[in-house]
Structure 1
Amino acid sequence: MSQTGGRDAAADARDLELLARLAEARREMGRQIAQRIVGQTDIVDMLTSAVLAGGHVLLVGVPGLAKTLLIQTLSQALDLEFSRIQFTPDLMPSDITGTELLEEDHGTGKRAFTFARGPVFGNIVLADEINRAPPKTQAALLQAMQEHTVTVAGKTYALPEPFFVLATQNPIEQEGTYHLPEAQLDRFMYELRIGYPSVAEEEAIVSSTTGVQKGVVKPSLNAAEVLEMQRLVRRLPAPPSLVSYAVGLARSTRPGEDGASPAVRKYVSVGAGPRAGQNLVLGAKARAAMDGRAVPDLEDVDAVAFSVLRHRVVLNFQAEAEGVGIEQILGLKK
């Protein structure tokens, strides 16, 4: 399944076997998460594809929709170390990355600085209500998200692998929120919107959360297996036609491009950059792998396109004045 050739039949056979294991693990993980989370199957699938692609996710929704519980349950289903950062207006960058402390050796009386790791040192880091902290603090995650390292007092520390930031964000119209910088938004593979449950789902939620019994989530994968699955997703071939399609989608959001629609030219200030095309292809590969398929197709790209592009396209003042939303501009499946 290598795109560069040079792999023998035995290696391809091992990959196909691993692909079947991945698809079964995905189904089992869905069953485990369903013990705690009612509905939200599309959101769970998108989160799973992001994990397999090694991407970060921004979850947007009003308080009380179980965003935090969903992320915590996902970490349990993957047997990964979970760390939570509650973002508040007074949160400092060192509260995220960690800081150096001056400690004294009681035996020798000598003093030395030791690094106290912050909560960013986890496999799945929940950045809860990320837009309630000022931009300076939000930016403390940039290096961690891009390079999987943090630098404190001139020293660089590697974060544990695998590493994901799953952030929750309140709608920007709510009081006490800040806009996330565009550079930080671009580091998120997906932006996922969580809406209110249906009547039947809400009744099931109320019933299941007001009793005594709670579902026990058993791990479907562990850290080593997640890393192995990520490498497998990378090895899946992306046909040239699929790459061209993904790049074309990303470029079509830029108002200066020949392929841009009249709506994009009129209402878009800044379109998606090259990282969007990368995430479209990786997301398509991950979704194919989740189904046990060795080669992604254009439908896989379409399935992730809106979540990849939504937060990367900046609308201009005219769009805001006329009440034109990103959904109308992109015209893609939500």
Structure 2
Amino acid sequence: MTILTATMPVTDDLNRRNFGAAAGLALASLLTACATDSDDAPAPNDATRTLSTPMGDVVVPAQPTRIVSLDAYVGLQTLDELGVPVVATGTLGGGIRTLVGETSQQLPSIGVTALGDVQLEAIAAAAPDLIVGRQPIGEPFYSELSTIAPTVLIPFTYWRDQYIDVADAVGRKDDASQSFVGLDGRIAALRADVAQAWPDGLRLSVVRVSDTSGDVRSYNTLAASSTFLYADILSGAGISPTADTAPGADPTKVNVAVSSENLPMIDADVIVYYVGAGGQADAGDDVEQSLLSSPLWSTLSAVAGGRAHRVDSAPWFDGYNLAAASAVIDDLRHILL
């Protein structure tokens, strides 16, 4: 019998950011190839564009050179991947910094914006010509932000739409849209390989272990979890987590709490779990140790069969760019095939 113990995550510290050839996304070449598209063509330094946003029309620089990202999630991750100039960002907590390059990791902080700690003075000090961020973060401060620089708020919806909206704010929508072609190719290949490797179907549990919530949570797929890229990838690969089909499952809820006595609810052919998240990479260690030492944990068929795997929370929970999507696919290929 093989019983899972706490090991290093499958994801390798996201050195997969250099995923171009290996992952098949070829992002750099796509961005170069799209550079001549009319929407993304170079514009005079004083040129402007008008964007329709949840807060109304906003006139933005056609080529912003000093961008503040209100969040370190889809905002910074998209801007970093597109290689546009960012001068400050929401705090990079925990493993989130592994999702962006070294330059972005060193950016000044404008607060832990995921917790509503938006520091207007720090934003003003960065002298931005454009502010971009999620609507839930920026809306309470929109009037003040707009006096500092044109502010584009992104609806908190399907992760791909968020990525494209951020890219559109900086005049790179066509680039971003084309970038998903390679991702969809990798997802289609994963679907075909999983179908071949698991001809009778695959039961998979996606589980979050968190000290923040103090429990174990089993996650659904795209129906309720469209803001998570892992859910998009699983759905595209034809994989439905067990939380979708558990007795009493509510497809409108992102996750369901699983008490220690109900651990059999998360049993499956394969269990994928991550610890912490939300910028708190280690905020789950105590709960993880409690989970792994539980007598019921060792009785789960996935655990007994050596098919329970810890993965890195950064791409699975906090990832919003193509590098993170590639890392999730790499994890799934390593675990399932």
Q: TM-score range by the shorter chain?
A: under 0.3
TM-score of the pair, normalised by structure 2? 0.28
What's the TM-score once normalised by structure 1's chain length?
Answer: 0.28
